[in-house]
Chain A
């Protein structure tokens, strides 16, 4: 791989402060995570509550200080950037969170929501911007008449499409998804996952996809990182991990419910 990776994380340690002056140092929330994400690829990060996946994500967004380790974003030393340089570099990141109704303002129209990042970046409003906004919306599979609506008039899937369109507004190289389909119904989840696959293809996006649902992330990611209690317990190509998980924990997550070999598994025998 001659090209610089989109994201390279090495020996990242994140530790929250203990309570009180003399409290013992708590165990790190992320205990030495290392991985790389090539351009145009998707990395799935899987873990349960307390696994450290959210801390890892926040550190990558520079919302949380790091104890040690390094993060390279598109060849730049991401953790040492300051003020204006940091602000400019942040445009390389797009973020979509779990609940679109919390992340979209209820007061603004969809057009205003999509204009916000462009205005913040200093672009002028006008016909060009309107055209760009309409393009973003249609790329995300919504018709133009949605521009004058407000978030509360949308279904969960439609609102999540708007959140994705907004994250794409500044043409980021790396999109970060934090449980983007967990609040959605199965049929809508499939639509959103298909949309992400299309966007990855058409825009050459790199993606970080964080979820507790291993089956969802295994479907769309090229490589997988499984976290548990702050440790990276498994990291590799998705096909390999799904075929032969090295950890019992990963196997457990994969076998929950409708397994591939035994479509219907019961923990205990059926009553007769």
Chain B
């Protein structure tokens, strides 16, 4: 049974101008011990999906789903209890996640005191051990520091150590390397893979960056306009994308074209978040759209563990 099991999740946020469909229909199955990438562009609903799993949707938002389970428990009722116990969060900007006026020691201790029943001395050695596990050299010195005295990569390691300190075994990482330099980001991704291998963690990695998916993830799900349109092993999704949007996204990358040649930009823009979508959400921008695409929701295509939604039959790419 998947650790995170989401079937047709939708999140609608009421506004005076009508509902904003932040998430229209997202299905995700994340197995224990994998890093699952959720990839998409601004407005595709990737962050809101993560927030829904944390029980942190905006006030008044309506969540609906056929299934919305974490380890067998319904997240609609239990998200607030699971958050910080089983489910941890790593955000994009570690400097904003850490308190600037408290020492790292105090911030680590706050987490350990809240979540673990341990005497003071044991908490200190646990903090040292966790910081060392995230690859920070000289954890004692880090504990005495304040956030601004650490580099971005070190700050992100502290945030990861804090997430581990809660005892969480499932981490939602929302663009964890976007604020970091490429080489530092690569180290943080390598750390996450090491923690997954050594501690049996499971990670939901939210990103817009195909390179992060290739570097760190086992499987990936592509979101477009609040819909999960493709899912499968990373190798399949990046090498043989089935959905025309996933193909277009890969073709738009600067290294997809020969040096200096024109890139294949995706014309048009995403459907407005308040609109109703009939048929395929990508049809208005799809170079292979057929009349049926605008009328009927696309069926699911399957090739072993690789699934996508499209009216085009398999192998017609």
A187 and B249 form a contact (CB under 8 A): yes
Please measure, in the bound complex, the distance between the C-alpha atom of A265 and the C-alpha atom of B234, giving whole angstroms. Answer: 10
Chain A residue with the shortest CB-CB distance to B189: A267
A267 and B252 form a contact (CB under 8 A): no
Q: Pick the residue among B34, B182, B212, B259 that contacts A242 (CB under 8 A).
A: B259
Q: Would A214 and B182 be within 8 Å (CB), given that A258-B211, A264-B235, A264-B239 are in contact?
A: yes
A258 and B238 form a contact (CB under 8 A): yes
Please measure, in the bound complex, the distance between the C-alpha atom of A218 and the C-alpha atom of B255, giving whole angstroms. Answer: 8
- A 128-180 contacts with B by CB, 8 A: 155-156
A264 and B208 form a contact (CB under 8 A): no
B265 and A191 form a contact (CB under 8 A): yes
- Is residue B196 within 8 Å, beta carbon to beta carbon, of the partner chain? yes
- Give the segment of A13-21, A62-70, A249-257 that binds chain B: A249-257
Please measure, in the bound complex, the distance between the C-alpha atom of A149 and the C-alpha atom of B239, giving whole angstroms. Answer: 41
Q: Pick the residue among B34, B181, B212, B259 that contacts A49 (CB under 8 A).
A: B181
**Residues of chain B within 8 A of A193, CB atoms compared:** 254, 263
- Is residue A57 within 8 Å, beta carbon to beta carbon, of the partner chain? no
- B 1-54 contacts with A by CB, 8 A: 33-34, 41-42
* Distance in Å: Cβ of A211 to nearest Cβ of chain B: 10
B182 and A187 form a contact (CB under 8 A): no
B255 and A187 form a contact (CB under 8 A): no
- Is residue B262 within 8 Å, beta carbon to beta carbon, of the partner chain? yes
Please measure, in the bound complex, the distance between the C-alpha atom of A267 and the C-alpha atom of B181, giving whole angstroms. Answer: 18
* B interface residues with partner A (beta carbon < 8 Å): 33-34, 41-42, 152, 181-184, 186, 189-190, 193-194, 196-197, 208-216, 218, 234-235, 238-239, 248-249, 252-255, 257, 259-260, 262-266, 269
8 nearest A-B residue pairs (beta carbon): A257-B211, A219-B254, A48-B181, A190-B252, A185-B41, A190-B263, A187-B266, A190-B265
* A interface residues with partner B (beta carbon < 8 Å): 48-49, 155-156, 185-191, 193-194, 197, 212-216, 218-220, 238-239, 242, 249, 252-253, 256-258, 260, 263-271
13 of the cross-chain contacts (CB-CB < 8 Å) are A48-B183, A186-B210, A186-B253, A187-B252, A187-B266, A194-B262, A194-B265, A212-B181, A242-B259, A257-B211, A258-B238, A264-B239, A267-B190
- Given A186-B41, A186-B208, 11 additional A-B pairs, CB 8 A: A185-B42, A185-B208, A190-B254, A191-B265, A256-B182, A256-B183, A264-B239, A266-B193, A268-B193, A268-B197, A271-B196
